[in-house]
Amino acid sequence: MTMSTPKRVLYHVLVGIFALFMIYPILWLAASSLKPNDEIFSTAYSLIPSRLEFANYVSGFMGFGGTTFATFFKNSFIIVVLSTVGAVVSSALVAFGLARTKFFGQKFWFAAMMATMMLPQDVVIVPQYVMFAKFGWLSSFKPLIVPHFFGTPFFIFLIMQFIRTIPGELDEAAKIDGCSKYGVFYRVVLPLIGPALITSAIFSFYWRWDDFINPLIYLNSPDKFPVSLALKLFLDGESLNNWGGMFAMATLSLLPVVIVFFIFQKYIVEGISTTGLKG
């Protein structure tokens, strides 16, 4: 779409103001991370520190008792990358199966998938823990990674809905050309659901990055902690807190998700499948 110059200026002014409003919290977080410790609360309304306190980043990065944030970041990356790859790949397969093949029990498995999303975590945490204990998986990354290789309901459903926007005639045409279902998936559907896969990957990356309840329960030793969990360790109601360090690391922990989003968002809109067939 093309716009005339005055229209374009108006567009940028309005959207720009709105964007500024939206990123206020991030600015606030970043500003707080640069404030001296005693200023964070007393001048919380202000976005400008009286002086820039980069030492917060040093003191925060030191972490706890010799385990630094370098370790926490490394752990996060291992968990997040592996589980994201697993979740997207397996979800794409399952979504295709549910959306484009007819088989006995299909409706049941779709319902089971939806129901999995509706049961509150709190009541399955304990039996799940007992189960993983029996597997001998405690204190390792396995409970945090392996289950994601079996499809994530949210992504399965998301990808399914995208597959359903693809005209069925394409499948038929491919079949006539001699493609099997596997061929249809790989040659026809896969190239067209790029935006859905990228979207899933972005979400998965962020959710796994932000998840702290599972690491909290399954990991014991601090040198296995991911960033999300380490951030929570800073605070304690009754003692003097290293607020500056906490805010500094909170800001730093946002960087990977923001970068990942910024890199991948353009694939959502520009599409990785511009050569795909059109309806």
Partner 1 sequence: MRKALSAVLLFSLITGLIGCSAGGSSDKSASGGDAAPATTTSAGESKDPVKLRIAWWGGQSRHDYTLKVIEMYEKQHPNVTIEPEYAPFDDYWKKLAPQAVAGGLPDIIQMDISYLSQYASRNQLADLKPFTDSGTLNVADVSENALKGGEVDGKLVALNLGVNALQTTFDVETMKENGIDIPSKDWTWDDMGKLGEQAKAKGFQIGGFAYHHEVFFPYYLRTIGQKMYSDDGKTIGYADDQAFIDYFTRYQQWYDKGYILSLDKEAQKKGVAEEDEIVLGHSISGIGWSNQFLAVANLVKDRPLELNPMPGPGTKEGLFLKPSMYFSIAESSKQKEEAAKFISFFINDIEANKLIKGERGVPVSSKVKDALKPILTENEAKIFDYVTWAESNSSPADPPNPIGSVEVEKLLRDLSEKILFKKIPIDQAAAEFRKEANAILARSQK
Partner 2 sequence: MKRLRDNEHLTGYVFTSPFVLGFLIFTLYPVLSSLYYSFTDYNLMEAPNWLGLDNYKRMFMEDDKIGKSFQVTFTYVLASVPLRLIFALFVAMILNVATKAVGLYRSAFYLPSLIGGSVAVSIMWQQIFGDQGLVNSFLNLIGIHTSTSWIGNPSTALWTLIALSTWQFGSSMIIFLAGLKNIPKDYYEAAGVDGANAVRRFFNITLPMLSPIILFNLTLQTISAFMTFTPAYIISRGEGGPLDQTLLYSLYLYRKAFSHFEMGYASALAWVMLLIVGFLTLLIFKSSTRWVHYETKGD
Give the binding site for partner 1 (CB under 8 A).
Answer: 38, 40-41, 64-66, 78, 82, 85-86, 89-90, 92-93, 125-126, 129-130, 133, 138-142, 145-146, 149-150, 182, 185-186, 190-191, 194, 197, 212-213, 216-217, 220-222, 224, 232-243, 245, 267, 272-273
Beta-bridge partners for 64 = 67
Closest CB 40 distance from partner 2, rounded Å:
8
Closest CB 254 distance from partner 1, rounded Å:
20
Closest CB 28 distance from partner 2, rounded Å:
6
- One of 6, 22, 221, 240 touching partner 2 (CB under 8 A): 22
Dihedral, 104, 108, 111, 117 alpha carbons, nearest 10: -100
Closest CB 92 distance from partner 2, rounded Å:
9
Closest CB 138 distance from partner 2, rounded Å:
15
- Among partner 2, partner 1, none, residue 186 binds (CB under 5-8 Å by kind): partner 1
151 binds partner 2 (CB under 8 A): yes
C-alpha 259/C-alpha 279 separation (Å) is 34
- Among partner 2, partner 1, none, residue 158 binds (CB under 5-8 Å by kind): partner 2
Q: Which is nearer to partner 2, 61 or 66 (CB)?
A: 61
What residues contact 242, with CB distance under 8 A and at least 6 apart?
A: 37, 59, 60, 234
CB 79, CB 141: distance < 8 Å = yes
154 binds partner 2 (CB under 8 A): yes
CB 195, CB 186: distance < 8 Å = no
Q: Which is nearer to partner 2, 1 or 48 (CB)?
A: 1
- Among partner 1, partner 2, none, residue 124 binds (CB under 5-8 Å by kind): partner 2
- Among partner 2, partner 1, none, residue 81 binds (CB under 5-8 Å by kind): none
Closest CB 183 distance from partner 2, rounded Å:
11
Question: Which of 195, 165, 218 is closest to 265 using CA atoms?
Answer: 195
Residues 49-88 that bind partner 2 (CB under 8 A): none
- Among partner 2, partner 1, none, residue 245 binds (CB under 5-8 Å by kind): partner 1
